[in-house]
Structure 1
């Protein structure tokens, strides 16, 4: 297991209009996860190749954010992040990141990753799982809870679910859809993938288009499940699968598709009135 703890002072890069930026937080957790993978594999810097010599990168398959207090972190406020990452399969890793500030727990982020490579150079739609021969390390967490999460991730991918986080899959209301054109300058990462953290950004942009109100929503919980990626120049289509909206609560499920109408992500979001 790799463990890392660091203290931050909240400044403009860390903050959004509503406290600690969820987008920054996902990027930072992804970075810490990546560095932990190097440490677990005795590398000074991350540089992975599978058994066939293919350049491999860690791709997140599922990310879960639970928060009641991101919006309570203010400018110049100190906060810490504690990270633990463990190998739970030959190429699968599980990370837990806790954000603490003053006397409260601001957020808990759980992450599942696996290693992938491109079968075709430069084609993000050719990514497939990389082959590693590592034996899994001892996992000291709740194995049953982890297995339940992995099971739901598979169910989400195959559309084999009915209700999740209070959100119903079958919805008779108005379906909404919005198309984005991700920018290579801000939405893709240094490995030339559409950055996993920016899926959250597109969901929030879609939500703002669909449900903008006089008051803002604060995050309670979000789960993201990833199945694929796109290339630079490809559109990204976000479709509202289901929504439950009341005066004080907003819950929705969004599906993310590529230009060939292939689903590449599911995102479940629970928010409360700020």
Structure 2
């Protein structure tokens, strides 16, 4: 049996496989909570990056001394979260750590006997340029943190960035009304550095998907989701999400794709886009 969580160093916490039993903090009514999987994946992703500089995440600074934060560019989830049940004995394993060579992309797996949920995280680096979350900027990074986007291992990261730009351009031309709107609340949506956490936006997109086609999507599990993030919001602003479902096939192998985009109500800026596949 693998050891339980033992956080002695950032590198050990990020890279060591962890064995644990699923309980209520990990669960939703239909299985393991996807946003929890993404939060844990990003936490270990960021621990791994900070460990490469020999510090904890809260001590990572740029050349000017400003705190550097991980800004999630994209995430993907693949697998059936509904297959996981309370009391399942699971392993959380990082199968590919983030590095400058792969464009700061990581892959992690939640494993249980006969069950697998794969998470992928792609990040860039950000710093504050004032108190507003709208005004995040690019930090003055050490050379070791400059992504090698020409490296062969960075091809997947480049593809995700290209898909994200394509989705954002399409969303900027979209004038359809939102299916659902969310007010940004400090206690519900902000993380420890005061930014709206990407996993919170992921939850809002998932709710909008269900709201767009509840009679279809409630019947099938979500198999794959690709999400991209382009900005942040301040408390009191609203995120307005529009989602459209397309049925690609029916019985015996139903498949439904939902494309979503989320805009900041204060200025109409596209904050996130997603494409999700539901089916058997």
- Could you tell me which of 129, 138, 159 is aligned with 2:138? 129
Give the number of equivalent residue pairs.
Answer: 258
Cα deviation digits, residues 99-118 of structure 1 (max 9, x gap): 111134x1111111111012
Q: Does 1:70 align with 2:73?
A: no
- Provide TM-score, normalisation by structure 2: 0.82
After TM superposition, give the deviation of residue 141 of structure 1 in Å: 7.8
Matching of residue 8 in structure 1 with residue 27 in structure 2? no
Q: 1:203 Cα shift?
A: 1.3
Larger helix share, 1 or 2 = 2
Are residue 255 (structure 1) and residue 261 (structure 2) matched? yes
Counterpart CA distance in 1 for 2:85 and 2:122 is: 29
Q: Is the 8 A contact 2:212 2:245 kept in 1?
A: no
Q: Which residue of the partner structure matches residue 267 of structure 1?
A: 274
**Aligned to 1:60, which of 49, 61, 72?**
72
Structure 1 unpaired stretches of 5+: 161-168
Choose between structure 1 and 2: higher strand proportion.
1
Partners of 1:125 and 1:176 in 2: CA distance: 21
Residue 107 of structure 1: aligned partner: 117
Q: Partners of 1:97 and 1:239 in 2: how far apart?
A: 29
Alignment of 1:214-229 (within 5 A): 215-229=218-232
Question: CA offsets per residue over residues 148-183 of structure 1, 9 Å max, x none?
Answer: 2233233333339xxxxxxxx99xxx8653211122
How many angstroms does 1:23 deviate by? 1.2
- Does the CA-based 8 Å contact 1:116-1:128 persist in structure 2? yes
**Does structure 2 retain, via aligned residues, the 8 Å contact 1:23–1:198?**
yes
CA distance in 2, matches of 1:42, 1:268: 36
Where does structure 2 lack aligned partners over 5 or more consecutive residues?
Answer: 1-10
So what's the TM-score if we normalise by structure 1?
Answer: 0.84
Superposition deviation, residue 45 in structure 1:
4.9
**Match in the other structure for 1:156:** 167
Q: How many angstroms apart in 2 are the aligned matches of 1:196 and 1:137? A: 21
